[in-house]
Amino acid sequence: MRGEAGRSAAATQLPRTVRTVGELQALADREHAAQRRIALVPTMGALHAGHLALVRAARARADRVWVSIFVNPMQFGPNEDFSRYPRPFDQDLALCGAAGVDLVFAPSAEEMYPPGAQTTVEVTELAKPLCGASRPGHFRGVATVVTKLLAAAKPHVAVFGEKDFQQLALVRRLVQDLLLDVEIVGVETARERDGLALSSRNARIVPEVRQDALSLVRALDAAEAAVAGGEDSADELLRIVRCVFLQAKSAELDYAELRDPKTLEVAPPRLCVPTLLALAVRFPATGGGPNARVRLIDNRVLHPKPGLEERP
């Protein structure tokens, strides 16, 4: 793998930009023939420190780090923010260069979805709850584009953030079910100094309610503290979480749910094994009119104390 000198040299120049699937596949074949490992970091651009953490994780696992930048129209609903989604490509390219990324794959929508395309990929059960319940069709778009990106880049490893926990679980299931020869790596959620999970959507929060957005991490902290104190009732934990959001006047709770981290099935009434607490909340947003909202997600895996399963 490349040493520190190689990374320093790469940081002084912009990475190669590839626009077509054919060119990317040819480059991937060349890297495979040379027995060099490829790591892919799929993104929709508007890169921030969270994405750069994924790049670092990729660098530790491969000889070549490739980043895809593609705002996937298929995963946006009709009333979602596709047209307003930020696309600072030159800035993203510079960040990739500084991070030592070797190649950026930035296809057009027509390249990823050629005229006449009619094949989609769907992971049925994992796509139903949580974000899937309020964003119908979203995860079909995610599964389809991830499958296409993996087919185009032919990576040995692909890196995703744990903030999008349901997406990560879905991608892992997809790779297992379709017998794809790629390792899927999840990376811990990167956060701003105040604890808010890093997201390109954070910039759209109305400044006056920015403190309300911290209710997500406050709710996670409150639930974790309760579990550490011996609380194992799912109903009580969700009551604690909802009380936090009631104190954030601008928060509109989409969901707060306890789920199995692997299957995303609903947690039992009493928690006795690690359990995912998943949140989605809407806040007033800049742009899009007076009723515009930005939707933020966050999660944490709670670890009940050993022996709780023996309680009546």
Last residue of some domain: 162, 187, 212? 187
Provide the terminal-to-terminal Cα distance of the chain, rounded to the nearest Å. 54
Q: Is residue 303 within 8 Å of residue 220, measured between CB atoms?
A: no
The arithmetic mean of pLDDT across residues 189-215, rounded, is 95
- Do 175 and 213 lie in one domain? The reply is no
CATH of the domain at 242: 3.30.1300.10
- Do 92 and 139 lie in one domain? The reply is yes
Question: Band of the pLDDT at 305, cuts 50, 70, 90?
Answer: confident
- Do 38 and 92 lie in one domain? The reply is yes
Instruction: Report yes or no on 290 lying in a domain.
Output: yes
Instruction: Report yes or no on 192 lying in a domain.
Output: no
Instruction: Report yes or no on 194 lying in a domain.
Output: no
pLDDT digit string, tens, across residues 83-94 = 888 899 999 999
- Do 294 and 231 lie in one domain? The reply is yes
- Do 13 and 141 lie in one domain? The reply is yes
Residues 172 and 181: their CA atoms lie apart, in Å, by 12
Residues 307 and 112: their CA atoms lie apart, in Å, by 50
- Do 213 and 282 lie in one domain? The reply is yes
Instruction: Report yes or no on 149 lying in a domain.
Output: yes
**Is 51 an annotated catalytic residue?**
yes
Instruction: Report yes or no on 195 lying in a domain.
Output: no
Largest interatomic CA distance in the chain: 63
Catalytic residue among 32, 48, 51, 138: 51
Closest-CA residue to 294 (of 232, 241, 252): 252
The arithmetic mean of pLDDT across residues 77-102, rounded, is 92
- Do 216 and 172 lie in one domain? The reply is no
Q: Is residue 40 within 8 Å of residue 59, measured between CB atoms?
A: no
Residues of the chain above pLDDT 90, percent: 88
**Residue 308: per-residue pLDDT:** 47
CATH of the domain at 114: 3.40.50.620
* Residue 260, number of CB atoms within 10 A of its CB: 15
Domain containing 101 equals 4-187
Give the total number of structural domains in the chain: 2
Last residue of some domain: 187, 218, 244? 187
Q: What is the pTM of this model?
A: 0.92
- At 103, which helix (H) or strand (E)? strand 103-105
296 in helix, strand or coil?
Answer: strand
Last residue of some domain: 127, 155, 187? 187
Lowest mean pLDDT among 7-16, 127-136, 174-183, 261-270: 7-16
Instruction: Report yes or no on 193 lying in a domain.
Output: no
- Do 53 and 108 lie in one domain? The reply is yes
* Residue 86, number of CB atoms within 10 A of its CB: 17
- Do 119 and 160 lie in one domain? The reply is yes
Question: Band of the pLDDT at 12, cuts 50, 70, 90?
Answer: low
- Do 289 and 176 lie in one domain? The reply is no
Q: Is residue 95 within 8 Å of residue 69, measured between CB atoms?
A: no
- Do 209 and 121 lie in one domain? The reply is no
- Do 10 and 148 lie in one domain? The reply is yes
Taking 70 as the threshold, does the pLDDT of residue 8 lie above it?
no
N residues, the chain = 312
